[in-house]
């Protein structure tokens, strides 16, 4: 600790768990956007990953509250958010937003995978048959009319889910941006920057996980879809980098009384994670690699590898951004004349091990979801006119 530090500033209250919380919520929002680009806006190039992006968003959404619950120290107190609602609190609003979004996402996943669930219920045996029968919710008949209604409902839910997904992550940026006492957080661009970085990280996650899972399945990569996602990644990443740069340049131009401490924060305390990891490694280098894949002719395998590497770097850069915002803002003393310090412990509830386990959990949940409802099946077409009332057992 250096400079003028108050006694109550020796401990960082929002630690590593609060860093990974907005990181996971961002991955949820970004993955859902990819699915909505297909279901709502009709971008057919994304059809091969539309179903996969949905269950990826669901897997990460289920784990989203866990960092906050662990950080509470008293997990059972999390229910107080619902039992004693406070609609004027931005923090308590998370519970309602998360629950509403969970309902929308579960309903959409069920509708998208309903033909597969019905087919598995009729063709499986034993425990698997019981599971799929339960998941079918008693709707074991597929007709042309029912599938048409399902598609309409999917489009409606996707349309509703877009603003809710934006709200889920945008409100996190709003919480930080509304802290007037902290000059590093208090900026109207904070919600927009969080939202754009969420979309960027979600698309990057899909690129990485899709390629890895496809290789493990020894299946062919849909290169047209893969590079289309990389193109969208480059577009959103460009806008995000510009906005983050404008945020700092606006502070530099205004030269308020807090600029002196912010400039020291950027050039001393978080210089490596901010300039080195967030901007150079996690933003500028991926942009150059993605631009190279779009502008120059190269072998498909090499082009795919560059897009994959860019996505990995983007995920690292977005995590660094969350660190620089959450931890960086707390390093500044309330006197604006000194800094505190923070190094995450290895063990303990707020340590690196627990945070790593929480980050690993969504992938485990995703693996379970893929096992029960594989997203790689072809979409089941409506039955012929002669079989409008046939049962699921007639599916082929």
Question: What is d(CA 36, CA 150) in angstroms, rounded to the nearest whole number?
Answer: 15
Q: Residue 339 pairs with which residues in a beta bridge?
A: 2, 332
State the pLDDT at residue 396. 32
- pLDDT of the residue at 388: 37
The pTM of this model reads: 0.90
C-alpha 357/C-alpha 177 separation (Å) is 29
141 phi/psi in degrees, rounded to 5:
-110, 130
Cα separation, 325 vs 184, whole angstroms: 8
What pLDDT does 229 receive?
Answer: 95
Residues 3 and 338: their CA atoms lie apart, in Å, by 4
The pLDDT value recorded for residue 1 is 59
| Closest listed residue to residue 20, CA positions, set 313, 312, 366, 358 | 358
Please measure the distance between the N-terminal and C-terminal CA atoms of the chain and give it in whole angstroms.
68
With a CB cutoff of 8 Å and minimum separation 6, the contacts of 41 are none
Full pLDDT tens readout for the chain, 396 residues: 566 676 666 778 899 999 999 999 999 988 999 999 999 888 999 999 999 999 999 999 999 999 999 998 888 888 888 888 887 777 777 888 899 999 999 999 999 999 999 999 888 888 888 889 999 988 888 888 989 999 999 999 999 999 998 888 888 888 888 887 788 988 888 989 999 999 999 999 999 999 999 999 999 999 999 999 999 999 999 999 999 999 999 888 888 888 999 999 999 899 999 999 999 999 999 999 999 998 888 899 999 999 999 999 999 999 999 999 999 999 998 888 888 889 999 998 889 999 999 999 999 999 999 998 999 865 444 444 433 343 443 333
Go through the domains of the chain in sequence order and give each one's CATH number.
2-394 (1.20.1630.10)
The predicted pLDDT at position 103 comes to: 95
Please state the three-class secondary structure of 144-196 as a single string: HHHHHHHHHHHHHHHHHHHHHHHHHHHHHHHHHHCCCCCCCCCCCCHHHHHHH
Q: Which two tokens stand for residue 342?
A: 């923070």
How many C-alpha atoms does 166 have within 13 Å on its Cβ side? 11
CA separation for the pair 7, 389 (Å, rounded): 74
Handedness of CA 323, 325, 328, 334 (dihedral sign): negative
**In the numeric block, which tokens belong to residue 45?**
């190039």
Distance, in Å, from the CA atom of 351 to the CA atom of 43, rounded to the nearest integer, reads 42
Per-residue pLDDT, 391: 43
CA distance 179 to 145: 52
- What count of residues does the chain have? 396
């Amino acid at each position: 600790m250096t400079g003028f530090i108050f006694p109550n500033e020796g401990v960082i209250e929002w630690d590593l768990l609060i860093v990974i919380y907005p990181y996971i919520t961002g991955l949820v929002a970004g993955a859902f956007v990819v699915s909505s680009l297909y279901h709502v806006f009709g971008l057919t190039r994304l059809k091969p990953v539309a179903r996969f992006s949905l269950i990826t968003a669901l897997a990460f959404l289920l784990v989203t509250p866990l960092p906050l619950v662990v950080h509470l120290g008293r997990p059972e107190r999390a229910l107080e958010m619902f039992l004693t609602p406070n609609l004027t609190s931005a923090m308590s609003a998370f519970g309602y937003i998360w629950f509403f979004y969970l309902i929308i996402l579960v309903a959409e996943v069920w509708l998208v995978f309903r033909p597969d669930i019905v087919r598995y219920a009729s063709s499986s045996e034993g425990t698997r048959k019981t599971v799929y029968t339960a998941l079918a919710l008693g709707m074991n008949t597929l007709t042309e009319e029912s599938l048409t209604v399902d598609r309409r409902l999917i489009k409606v839910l996707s349309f509703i889910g877009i603003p809710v997904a934006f709200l889920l992550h945008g409100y996190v940026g709003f919480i930080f941006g509304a802290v007037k006492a902290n000059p590093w957080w208090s900026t109207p661009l904070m919600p927009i920057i969080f939202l754009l970085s969420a979309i960027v990280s979600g698309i990057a996650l899909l690129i990485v996980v899709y390629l890895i899972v496809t290789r493990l399945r020894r299946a062919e990569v849909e290169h047209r879809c893969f590079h289309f996602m990389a193109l969208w990644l480059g577009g959103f990443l460009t806008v995000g980098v510009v906005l983050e740069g404008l945020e700092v340049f606006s502070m530099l131009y205004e030269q308020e009384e807090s600029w002196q401490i912010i400039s020291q924060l950027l050039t001393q305390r978080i210089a490596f994670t901010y300039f080195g990891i967030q901007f150079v490694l996690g933003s500028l280098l991926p942009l150059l690699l993605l631009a190279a894949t779009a502008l120059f002719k190269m072998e498909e395998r090499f082009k795919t590898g560059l897009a994959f590497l860019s996505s990995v770097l983007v995920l690292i850069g977005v995590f660094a951004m969350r660190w620089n915002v959450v931890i960086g803002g707390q390093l500044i003393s309330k006197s604006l004349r000194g800094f505190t310090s923070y190094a995450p412990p290895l063990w303990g509830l707020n340590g690196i091990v627990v945070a790593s386990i929480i980050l690993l959990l969504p992938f485990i949940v995703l693996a379970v979801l893929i096992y029960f409802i594989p997203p790689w099946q072809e979409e089941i077409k409506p039955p012929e006119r002669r079989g409008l009332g046939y049962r699921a057992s007639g599916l082929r």
